[in-house]
């Protein structure tokens, strides 16, 4: 099965081509450029280098959130556009699950953390044993203080992963976490591909029309609109 996978939910943009579990190509940029500028060129370069065409693909995999509202939309919209009219299945995967997959060789509790601002992180917890991840809670937005309380009660080694690594580590007062190499802390197209492949095998893939995003909380524009409407109705 030939897979094109991508993630644009945070500052790092990443694209991977895989044939089943075999990594064929992996492009990752952490330059600060917008994903609207870099994502399609990465995809085109990866396909050209592998001598693949879009029509050769059997599956699209994309991180559908949580993460940057704009970044999530760019990634999902890109896959929708590429898949349109192709009858190629699409697998939207949790950004947090794909991040946890980066650390599948670490036994213990994997805690993906993405900076959600307002003293919060997007987070989920996974137990990892012998390369197998077991989800312990749903994706959520949680304060770092509350996460600290939960992690402090764990009786296993704890690892952080994601763009909220530094800010979370700085604000943990009760939890001791083990270090993770920097190159494993960021989104990986390969991890997205493997989570997408698992979703496909479990019958969870969809078509381009049904592919959706997962924000976990309202955007700033939605919050401001709701606040304005509430004031108008007072």
Instruction: Categorize the per-residue pLDDT at 118 as very low, low, confident or very high, splitting at 50, 70 and 90.
Output: confident
Second CATH level (architecture) for the domain 103-184: 2-Layer Sandwich (3.30)
Q: Among 81-90, 94-103, 153-162, 224-233, name the one with the lowest average pLDDT.
A: 224-233
Is the confidence at residue 154, as pLDDT, over 90? yes
pLDDT digits (tens, 9 = 90+) for 70-107: 999 999 999 999 999 999 999 999 999 999 999 999 99
Per the rule left: phi > 0, alpha: psi between -120 and 50, beta: everything else, 203 is left
Determine the 3-state secondary structure of 67 from DSSP: coil
Q: Which residues, other chains included, contact 113 with Cβ-Cβ below 8 Å and sequence gap of 6+?
A: 121, 122, 123, 147, 160, 161, 162, 163, 164, 165, 168
Domain borders along the chain are: 2-95+187-225, 103-184
Model pTM?
Answer: 0.92
Instruction: Categorize the per-residue pLDDT at 185 as very low, low, confident or very high, splitting at 50, 70 and 90.
Output: very high
Domains 2-95+187-225 and 103-184 alike in fold: yes
Is the confidence at residue 121, as pLDDT, over 90? yes
Q: Kindly state which CATH superfamily the domain 2-95+187-225 is placed in.
A: ATPase, nucleotide binding domain (3.30.420.40)
Number of other residues whose CB lies within 10 A of the CB of residue 136: 14
Predicted local distance difference test score (pLDDT) of residue 232 = 63
Tokens of 149: 């309380």
């Amino acid at each position: 099965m030939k897979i094109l996978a991508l993630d644009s939910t945070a500052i790092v943009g990443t694209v991977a081509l895989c044939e089943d579990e075999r990594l064929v190509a992996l492009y990752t940029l952490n330059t600060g450029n917008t994903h609207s500028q870099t994502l399609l060129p990465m995809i085109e370069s990866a396909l050209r280098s592998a001598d693949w065409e879009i029509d050769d693909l059997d599956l699209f995999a994309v991180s559908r959130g949580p993460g940057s509202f704009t970044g999530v939309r760019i990634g999902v919209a890109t896959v929708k556009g590429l898949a349109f009219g192709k009858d190629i299945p699409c697998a939207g995967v949790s950004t947090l699950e794909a991040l946890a997959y980066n650390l599948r060789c670490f036994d213990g509790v994997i805690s993906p953390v993405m900076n959600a601002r307002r003293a919060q992180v997007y987070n989920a917890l996974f137990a990892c044993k012998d390369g197998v991840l077991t989800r312990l809670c749903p994706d959520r937005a949680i304060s770092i203080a509350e996460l600290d309380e939960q992690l402090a009660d764990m009786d296993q080694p704890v690892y952080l992963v994601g763009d909220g690594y530094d800010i979370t580590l700085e604000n943990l007062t009760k939890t001791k976490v083990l270090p993770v190499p920097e190159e494993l802390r960021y989104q990986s197209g390969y991890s997205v591909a493997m989570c997408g492949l698992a979703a496909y095998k479990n019958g969870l893939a969809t078509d381009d029309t049904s592919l959706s995003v997962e924000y976990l909380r309202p955007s700033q524009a939605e919050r401001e609109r709701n606040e304005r409407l509430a004031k108008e109705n007072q």
